[in-house]
Homo-oligomer: A and B are copies of this chain.
Amino acid sequence: MNQLKEALETLKDTGVRITPQRHAILEYLINSMSHPTADEIYKALEGKFPNMSVATVYNNLRVFREVGLVKELTFGDASSRFDFVTSEHYHVICEHCGKIVDFHYPGLDEVEHLAAHVTGFKVDTHRLEIYGTCPDCAGKEVH
């Protein structure tokens, strides 16, 4: 039920120390309900941790990724965004404002199987994103 509590449990179980900075980063990720960049997290917490280094944010996001608490969404030039892991889902992304919306859809097992069959790869996973224009941006375009 309490996502933060569970996340802290996961850290404890994997022998990762729970520092105030880690607690705050996790809390922010969960509460923001969005897909923040490392820098956004850094800036959001600088009131509470005026001396925190940006390296700490990156280091801890990597730790969280390694224990499976967050997923990193990477893009070409722009900075990575981080998603607190709940259930599997895809993302729909606005090409104009960059908004990212969660989108649930059954996994594409058939595509994975065909890819494995055709290429001889041992398939692990896949990445799918939908790109378009969000309702807000579509509204602005009209007039």
Residues in chain A within 8 A of chain B (CB atoms): 72, 74-77, 80, 90, 92, 94-95, 101, 103, 105, 108, 111-112, 114-116, 118-135, 138
Contacts and interface: CB of A to CB of B under 8 A. Distances in A.
Nearest to A76: B74
Contacts of A90: 115
B118 A103 contact: yes
Given A74-B77, A76-B75, A115-B92, A126 B122 contact: no
Nearest to A110: B105
Contact of A111 (B77, B127, B128): B128
B105 A121 contact: no
A95 B119 contact: no
